[in-house]
Amino acid sequence: MISCRRLSDYSTISAEMIYKMILESPLESRLTKGEISFFQFYSEVKALAKAEIGFDEFTEFWNDIFTENPEMTELIKKLKSCHRLIILSNTNQPHFNYICQKFPVLGLFDDSILSYKVGFTKPDPRIFKLTIEKCATDPANIVYIDDKIENVEAAKRLGMRGIRFEDCGDLRRRLGS
């Protein structure tokens, strides 16, 4: 919604309407699945929102929606000392590139499975099957953490241990750390 509010400053259309036209339509999903380039996404968004905005400015506020969670950063560092860490994310290329530059802790992850690279998103079972293959272990040995219950349930259906993220304190307790 942050991006939609900022985009509405360049448009006569409200942030709520922009949200519905972009984020509640197949448009963002196509970007997240890697079906369209970011420039194509920008062009379609600009036309739909009737926005007068350049590509660079759009890119800047499209990406600048993330904040670091210092408690999570510390937990990742602790987990890295004794576990293999893999990112499984519904994301798009500009967002992933941006967060990798802005948050060095992501460099601690051993690997990643990204929706825009593989062509499907959580909770599609195929992305979880790729995760199991990449982990090269029994699914029961994989702990999958996500804030969306439908993703946690999808992982559990394939035999992974799923934890719904609510806050770092709860996650620490559930991981036993």
Render each residue's pLDDT in the chain as its tens digit; 177 residues.
Answer: 788 899 999 999 999 999 999 888 899 999 999 999 999 999 999 999 999 999 999 999 899 999 999 999 999 999 999 999 999 999 999 999 999 999 999 999 999 999 999 999 999 999 999 999 999 999 999 999 999 999 999 999 999 999 999 999 999 999 986
Which residues sit opposite 163 in a β-bridge? Answer: 145
Show the tokens assigned to 61: 């506020």
Angle between helices 125-135 and 149-157 (to 10 degrees): 60
Q: What is the pLDDT of residue 177?
A: 60
Q: What is the pLDDT of residue 111?
A: 97
Angle of CA points 15, 21, 23, to nearest 5°: 85
Q: What is the pLDDT of residue 23?
A: 84
Cβ(93)–Cβ(34) below 8 Å = yes
Give 106: exposed, middle or buried? Use CB within 10 Å, 0-12, 13-18, 19+. Answer: middle
